[in-house]
Chains A and B, each alone.
Chain A
């Protein structure tokens, strides 16, 4: 205490202090010498001499003194901070409800922001995880028909040789497929495979983790080689280095493993195995086989413009040389990062960031409101602190420390919330919404973002309450008059909370509409009646079954073996799954004898190739005529079964059985039509859950139109079809002894239905989450301003009670002020919802944009939650004991 008093009250600059001290020393020494009989002048000179180099002496003293002062200031500052933090924690613990609500509010705001930041970071901020990513571009063939077309292999080879600005081009096939990998233990498994050209990894700049990547030489040697992705190598081969050089049996052929590449190579496509697609001979067909997605690595120092003009001249040269194939084709070049992320995702990410940023601001405003409500309670405490000599700065600092402690707690919890969101989010996001390049990770950057956000937020919501609190304490508290009304700031706060309520109502209505849409879609009549059906793709690879007879034999063998599996009730084959993909595609289906329709009005149907037992397997009723039988063979009369929509739309309600349908594939009009006789009508099956016009369907017997890539459907005698999966696989393995069959996509029809509604589910989930958050925040806001105003009107209420008002009168006053804010907000929100419903119409199914049920439900929900928010302040207001309240003033 004494030390600090000395330095604060007697602030003398260190150099003056030293001067004074040395002067005194010289004077006293001179006096001593004079007393001993020396001449005063000589004595003084001697006194000075004895000090030595006075200037140097002074310098070292001043130096030491200054250092000491600095250290003291720092220690004191740290001590004060420690005291403030301890005090703040004590204050927060004394009001656990307030602390909990405020910290939870901040945690939600910061957590949501951190999750979105992770998305923005992954899409926009982070460079690609490859060496010198600025040099990487995506190259497309540009033609009048398609501005961004795939690249023909020979063109890519020529780009590689002729360009002066590129170090290397490499390509991969546009789709990831599967390969059947035979294991040592006699089992076969399907692994993801991606075809690449030999320059692919060099262009990306990927260094092998083990072994090597492909060399240009491999092309000429026509190497059957594969490179493994690191994760696959680790999980499937336990990171065994001896795998390199070993041969793997893939799709029945032997492929040599040449190396392992890091997971970062999967930017263009996720896959386990990279197989080399050599471009050997200069076959002219390869000049027009537009199949590759091409990445290029520019030479160091080359700008995008230089690369573009260089490639333009290369394309010109090719067009002159190969006018037949290359006339009018140029090269489009785009930075790889931009090409992978895409502008739509970029905008979406930024939009999201904006939205959650506003959410965070609302969180801040709410916490500020809560703090204000508390600050009024603490006016007296603060006044006493001021009276005891704490300066305004010191009090503000104390209050700010409290906000920082609060925001630190909120930030720490927010990190947890963010991690949780990112943990759950990837499984919720429908496939294909994010490109392969985007991986959401919770890492140091996100934690740093949380910390920074918490700091910023601490200042944002702490400053105003601290300012106002000290203002109050200095002017009002000591005169013990706290009859303030909610003034200018109060109206602003009311507006803010009203806006929060409006937003919450708007989002709740949106959420309600989307939820009802989702429920409608899930309840949709799919057409078939089987409870649970297992499906999978069974794909006999290669050309082992060249004839229909051989293929039918193969399907028959598998069908018999699978039927023998215990628990299997029936087995069928199909080219289309209800709510799933259709392999046979759209066909023109015209009734023979009807007047020919114009191209535009020609009826189109989804052709579904099925085995006779398909209808039984799915419990799909044939409502008229007959189902297919084993007698419908390749050589017998060509027949078909049509759906109810076909009868309505194509036949116009005529009796279907006996009519003949002429079928031609859409897109290949020159192909000769096949004429089939309608033998039955099947119940209508949904093609998509949200289809408005029923899909026109024509079923064709497998024996009359065999395809080698089919779905097998298996219905169990009872229970869940998923349980049959391993038994069915084993049964297929018994037929497929050479392991040439690719079995993939094992799912139940319910899984497929769930996938079909994934986008709707994601949308609903997203909006429901935000609506819940908005409602919570709005209610915290209502609670905050109400608690504040009740606190401020304590005296008012007390006087009223003293003058004879009953507690119900006081309650009415409180509820009125709450009702004004919530009511106004709700009205605005509902009005906006009417507009929103219109814009949302496209995303809805089976529910009107002004769905009364949704609006009523939202109103009810708002009423209930507002009631919860109001309870505590209202209770407090009615419990005022006039005597105590007035005496304490």
Chain B
């Protein structure tokens, strides 16, 4: 990721964003993408190509689980939701991010 692309995601942040998104309730993949786009106001670019592998990865780790549900089109859709382990992980990631941001902020404040 080049420095010229300000809205590129820091490595590992995508997982945290997905967990945070699912904390609001079960969503399918497209909804996750849209939620992130909407809340960040397009300030962050979520590459759709990495979103789905991330979801599968989180599922494999047991932080997220999937169920078949019905989408707004009335079609079968894979709905992801947060597991208990996922919630714990989310808290840990948020805390880590806060420490990281505070540290960076201190350096910039000098």
Closest CB in chain A relative to B77 CB, distance in Å: 6
- Tell me whether chain A's interface is mostly helix, strand or loop, or mixed: helix
A61: which B residues are within 8 A, CB to CB?
A: 52-53, 56
Complexed CA–CA distance, A334 and B47 (Å): 79
Residue of A2, A18, A67 touching B65 (CB-CB under 8 A)? A2
30 contacts between A and B (CB under 8 A): A2-B65, A3-B65, A6-B68, A10-B68, A20-B78, A21-B28, A21-B52, A21-B78, A24-B28, A24-B29, A24-B30, A24-B71, A25-B30, A25-B33, A25-B48, A25-B52, A28-B71, A28-B72, A29-B30, A51-B48, A52-B47, A53-B49, A57-B49, A57-B52, A57-B53, A60-B53, A61-B53, A64-B57, A64-B60, A71-B60
Residues of chain B whose beta carbon lies under 8 Å from any beta carbon of chain A: 28-30, 33-34, 47-49, 52-53, 56-57, 59-60, 65-68, 71-73, 75-78
A65 touches B47 (CB 8 A): no
Closest CB in chain A relative to B58 CB, distance in Å: 10
Complexed CA–CA distance, A17 and B79 (Å): 12
Complexed CA–CA distance, A67 and B60 (Å): 8
A interface size (C-beta, 8 A)? 28
Quick one: given A20-B78, A21-B78, A68-B59, are A28 and B30 in contact (CB under 8 Å)? Answer: yes
Residue of B49, B57, B75, B76 touching A52 (CB-CB under 8 A)? B49
B75 touches A24 (CB 8 A): yes
Tell me, yes or no, whether A93 is within 8 Å of chain B by CB.
no
A71: which B residues are within 8 A, CB to CB?
A: 60
Closest CB in chain A relative to B27 CB, distance in Å: 12
B-contact bits for A52-86, CB 8 A (1 contact / 0 none): 11001100110011011001000000000000000
Residue of A nearest to B33 (CB): A25
Residue of A nearest to B61 (CB): A68
Extra contacts, 7 of them, besides A21-B29, A21-B52, A61-B52 (Cβ < 8 A), are A6-B66, A25-B33, A52-B49, A53-B49, A64-B60, A65-B56, A67-B60
Tell me, yes or no, whether A22 is within 8 Å of chain B by CB.
yes
Tell me, yes or no, whether A483 is within 8 Å of chain B by CB.
no
Tell me, yes or no, whether A738 is within 8 Å of chain B by CB.
no
A812: which B residues are within 8 A, CB to CB?
A: none
Tell me, yes or no, whether A50 is within 8 Å of chain B by CB.
yes
Residue of A56, A57, A68 touching B60 (CB-CB under 8 A)? A68
Closest CB in chain A relative to B45 CB, distance in Å: 10
Residue of A nearest to B47 (CB): A52
B-contact bits for A1-20, CB 8 A (1 contact / 0 none): 01100100010000001101
Residue of A nearest to B58 (CB): A64
B49 touches A51 (CB 8 A): yes
Complexed CA–CA distance, A56 and B52 (Å): 11
Ordered nearest first, which 4 A-B pairs have the shortest CB separation?
A52-B49, A64-B56, A68-B60, A28-B30
Closest CB in chain A relative to B46 CB, distance in Å: 10
Complexed CA–CA distance, A53 and B48 (Å): 10
Tell me, yes or no, whether A27 is within 8 Å of chain B by CB.
yes
Quick one: given A64-B53, A64-B60, A68-B56, are A28 and B48 in contact (CB under 8 Å)? Answer: no
Closest CB in chain A relative to B31 CB, distance in Å: 8
B68 touches A25 (CB 8 A): no
Residue of A nearest to B52 (CB): A61
A20 touches B30 (CB 8 A): no
B29 touches A25 (CB 8 A): yes
A22 touches B52 (CB 8 A): yes
Closest CB in chain A relative to B30 CB, distance in Å: 4
Complexed CA–CA distance, A2 and B84 (Å): 14
Closest CB in chain B relative to A10 CB, distance in Å: 6
Closest CB in chain A relative to B84 CB, distance in Å: 13
Residue of B nearest to A21 (CB): B78
Closest CB in chain A relative to B49 CB, distance in Å: 3
Complexed CA–CA distance, A71 and B67 (Å): 18
Closest CB in chain B relative to A22 CB, distance in Å: 7
Residue of B nearest to A49 (CB): B48
Closest CB in chain A relative to B39 CB, distance in Å: 16
B56: which A residues are within 8 A, CB to CB?
A: 60-61, 64-65, 68
Closest CB in chain A relative to B53 CB, distance in Å: 5
Complexed CA–CA distance, A60 and B49 (Å): 10
Residue of B nearest to A51 (CB): B48
Closest CB in chain B relative to A426 CB, distance in Å: 57
Complexed CA–CA distance, A68 and B61 (Å): 8
Closest CB in chain A relative to B71 CB, distance in Å: 6
Q: Kindly identify, within residues 229 to 272 of chain A, every residue whose CB is under 8 Å from any CB belonging to chain B.
A: none
Residue of B nearest to A28 (CB): B30
A6: which B residues are within 8 A, CB to CB?
A: 66-68
B72: which A residues are within 8 A, CB to CB?
A: 28
Residue of B nearest to A69 (CB): B60
B29 touches A17 (CB 8 A): no
A24 touches B60 (CB 8 A): no
Residue of A nearest to B57 (CB): A64
Residue of B nearest to A68 (CB): B60
For A10, A25, A60, A61, which residue has the most chain B Cβ atoms within 10 angstroms?
A: A25
A18: which B residues are within 8 A, CB to CB?
A: 52
B-contact bits for A25-59, CB 8 A (1 contact / 0 none): 10111001000000000000000001111001100
Closest CB in chain A relative to B48 CB, distance in Å: 5
Closest CB in chain A relative to B103 CB, distance in Å: 32
Complexed CA–CA distance, A38 and B19 (Å): 32
B60: which A residues are within 8 A, CB to CB?
A: 64-65, 67-68, 71
A21: which B residues are within 8 A, CB to CB?
A: 28-29, 52, 77-78
Closest CB in chain B relative to A539 CB, distance in Å: 83
Closest CB in chain B relative to A550 CB, distance in Å: 98
Complexed CA–CA distance, A811 and B54 (Å): 73
For A10, A20, A27, A28, which residue has the most chain B Cβ atoms within 10 angstroms?
A: A28
Complexed CA–CA distance, A27 and B68 (Å): 18
B73: which A residues are within 8 A, CB to CB?
A: 24, 27-28
A24: which B residues are within 8 A, CB to CB?
A: 28-30, 71, 73, 75, 77
B30 touches A17 (CB 8 A): no
Residue of B nearest to A5 (CB): B67
Closest CB in chain B relative to A198 CB, distance in Å: 71
B30: which A residues are within 8 A, CB to CB?
A: 24-25, 28-29
B-contact bits for A621-662, CB 8 A (1 contact / 0 none): 000000000000000000000000000000000000000000
B49: which A residues are within 8 A, CB to CB?
A: 51-53, 56-57
A32: which B residues are within 8 A, CB to CB?
A: 34
Residue of A nearest to B65 (CB): A3
A17: which B residues are within 8 A, CB to CB?
A: 78
Complexed CA–CA distance, A797 and B53 (Å): 68
Complexed CA–CA distance, A2 and B34 (Å): 27
Residue of B nearest to A58 (CB): B52
B33: which A residues are within 8 A, CB to CB?
A: 25
Residue of A nearest to B72 (CB): A28
Closest CB in chain A relative to B3 CB, distance in Å: 22
B28: which A residues are within 8 A, CB to CB?
A: 21, 24
Complexed CA–CA distance, A20 and B65 (Å): 17
Complexed CA–CA distance, A744 and B57 (Å): 81
B75: which A residues are within 8 A, CB to CB?
A: 24
A29: which B residues are within 8 A, CB to CB?
A: 30
Complexed CA–CA distance, A3 and B81 (Å): 12
Complexed CA–CA distance, A783 and B57 (Å): 58
Residue of B nearest to A54 (CB): B49
Residue of B nearest to A31 (CB): B73
Complexed CA–CA distance, A17 and B78 (Å): 8
B34: which A residues are within 8 A, CB to CB?
A: 32
Complexed CA–CA distance, A6 and B33 (Å): 24
A56: which B residues are within 8 A, CB to CB?
A: 49
Residue of B nearest to A18 (CB): B52
Closest CB in chain A relative to B88 CB, distance in Å: 18
Complexed CA–CA distance, A28 and B72 (Å): 9
A53: which B residues are within 8 A, CB to CB?
A: 49
Closest CB in chain A relative to B43 CB, distance in Å: 17
A68: which B residues are within 8 A, CB to CB?
A: 56, 59-60
Complexed CA–CA distance, A6 and B81 (Å): 14
A67: which B residues are within 8 A, CB to CB?
A: 60
Complexed CA–CA distance, A51 and B49 (Å): 5
Complexed CA–CA distance, A10 and B47 (Å): 30
Complexed CA–CA distance, A52 and B48 (Å): 8
